[in-house]
């Protein structure tokens, strides 16, 4: 069994030399426990932001989809797949039903996914899928006919939020980092508009894409673009502050932009959230997303990296925007 241990805090982009790979023996299973072998590991933006809160050295955190290879638990038989917050490691012993270590992915048995890969347990049928589902429905609360703007729109969460928005009868506008991603959002996922935030004037884009202004903003990136979008909202607009990736790699202090007047005069509701708020309703989100998937109303793309040794390259690649949809690592 192998695992990644973080030995240095990230400075700028994560580096291989911030980690060491450690070998471990696998102990015998106790009653109620399962042994799993990682099939897909997740790389997520929170990893870049969160590690600052851990005392080093520490086992690297993260979600994975793993195959049960030994079991002393009736409901978790050998051969089935689970998703869980096991960290960057090849083998894990866990006890379904017991309180889990904190994290963003509760230990769940994956449903039968038919023709789809089990890696969806890290994407549309896992943590990002539920972030999109609950974040949009419970924080933005969009009504049919309203306009939703999404930043980070071609990523795992953003591409999913936009499709739910379309399923709910809204006008959906995305911002993403390449023209190719924008084309994909419009042509494949049905977004009404998508703009390359690196090459477009944000105000002009909003004028063109949102003639009725913005009712809901699903914010994945923070920073200047978010202030601009919030100043373009309708009265009583709702902002779901999901992430702030534009500042995760930034060592310097975040720039301060004055957006409070927009919040006051438009009476905006601005709410940050963490998806684990809805752990008690996890299945509801998974089932809703699974139904949309099976009805052809939810499409997905993945950026698959290969090999346990390439975790850091995958993390950095995702932070740089190499992915459309969810970034995952196939372990073998």
Binding mask 59-88 for ligand NDP (x = CB under 6 A): ------------------------------
Q: Which residue among 14, 19, 45, 133 contacts ligand NDP (CB under 6 A)?
A: 45
Least Å distance between CB 105 and ligand NDP?
Answer: 10
Q: How far is the CB of 93 from ligand NDP (least distance, A)?
A: 26
Evaluated on CA atoms 131, 133, 134, 140, the torsion sign reads positive
Provide the mask over 193-232, with x wherever binding to ligand NDP is found by CB under 6 A and - wherever it is not. Answer: ---------------------------xx-----------
Task: List the one residue out of 320, 247, 238 whose CA is nearest residue 272.
Answer: 238
Distance in Å, CB of 98 to ligand NDP, minimum: 23
Whole-angstrom Cα distance, residue 41 to residue 64?
Answer: 4
Smallest separation (angstroms) from ligand NDP to the CB of 63: 10
Establish if 314 lies at the interface with ligand NDP (CB under 6 A). no
Cα within 13 Å of Cα(106), Cβ side: 18
Rounded to whole angstroms, the Cα distance separating 198 from 201 reads 8
The piece of 28-36, 86-94, 105-113, 171-179 that touches ligand NDP (CB under 6 A) is 171-179
Cβ–Cβ under 8 Å, residues 329 and 307: yes
User: What is each CA distance from 189 to 63, 115, 325, in whole angstroms?
Assistant: 26, 20, 11
Binder of ligand NDP out of 35, 122, 176, 206 (CB under 6 A)? 176
Residue 238: CB partners within 8 Å, gap ≥ 6? 139, 140, 141, 215, 216, 217, 268, 269, 271
Rule CB under 6 A: which of 269-288 touch ligand NDP?
Answer: 273-275
CB-wise, 68 or 176, nearer to ligand NDP?
Answer: 176
Residue 35 or 239 having the CB closest to ligand NDP: 239
Cβ contact 329:304 at 8 Å:
yes
156 binds ligand NDP (CB under 6 A): yes
Of the pair 5, 241, the CB lying nearest ligand NDP is at: 241
Give the single-character DSSP code of 275. G
Question: Where does this chain touch ligand NDP (CB under 6 A) — which range of 9-17, 88-96, 182-190, 321-329?
Answer: 321-329
Q: Going by C-beta distance under 8 Å and a sequence separation of 6 or more, which residues neighbour residue 313?
A: 305
* 182: three-class secondary structure by DSSP: helix
Q: Smallest Cα–Cα separation from 160: which of 113, 214, 124?
A: 124
Complex with ligand NDP: residue 232 or 278, whichever CB lies closer: 278
Residues that bind ligand NDP (CB under 6 A): 44-46, 128, 131, 152, 154-158, 176-178, 181, 220-221, 242-246, 273-275, 318-319, 321, 323, 327
């Amino acid at each position: 069994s192998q695992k990644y241990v973080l030995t240095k805090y990230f400075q700028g982009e994560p580096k291989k030399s911030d980690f060491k790979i450690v070998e471990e023996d696998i102990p015998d299973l106790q009653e109620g426990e399962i042994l799993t072998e990682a099939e897909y590991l997740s790389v997520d933006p929170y990893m870049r932001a969160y590690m600052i809160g851990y005392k080093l050295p520490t086992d690297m955190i993260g979600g994975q989809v793993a195959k049960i290879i030994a079991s002393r638990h009736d409901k978790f038989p050998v051969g089935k797949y689970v998703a869980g917050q096991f960290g960057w490691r090849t083998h894990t012993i866990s006890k379904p039903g017991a309180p889990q270590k904190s994290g963003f992915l509760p230990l769940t048995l994956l449903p039968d996914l038919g023709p789809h890969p089990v890696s969806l347990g890290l994407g549309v049928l896992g943590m990002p899928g539920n972030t999109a589902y609950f974040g949009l429905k419970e924080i933005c609360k969009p009504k049919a006919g309203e306009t939703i703007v999404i930043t980070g729109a071609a990523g795992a969460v953003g591409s999913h939020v936009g499709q739910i928005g379309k399923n709910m009868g809204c006008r959906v506008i995305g911002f993403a980092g390449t023209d190719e991603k924008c084309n994909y959002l419009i042509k494949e996922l049905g977004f009404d508009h998508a703009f390359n935030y690196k090459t477009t004037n944000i105000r002009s884009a909003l004028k063109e894409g949102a003639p009725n202004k913005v009712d809901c903003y699903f914010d994945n990136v923070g920073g200047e673009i978010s202030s601009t979008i919030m100043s373009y909202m309708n009265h009583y607009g709702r902002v779901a502050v999901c992430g702030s990736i534009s500042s995760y790699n930034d060592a310097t202090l975040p720039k301060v932009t004055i957006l409070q007047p927009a919040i006051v005069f438009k009476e905006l509701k601005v709410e940050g959230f963490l998806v684990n708020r809805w752990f008690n309703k996890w299945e509801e989100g998974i089932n809703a997303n699974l139904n949309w998937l099976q009805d052809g109303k939810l499409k997905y793309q993945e950026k698959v990296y290969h090999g346990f040794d390439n975790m850091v390259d995958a993390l950095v690649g995702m932070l740089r925007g190499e992915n459309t949809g969810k970034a995952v690592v196939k372990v073998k």
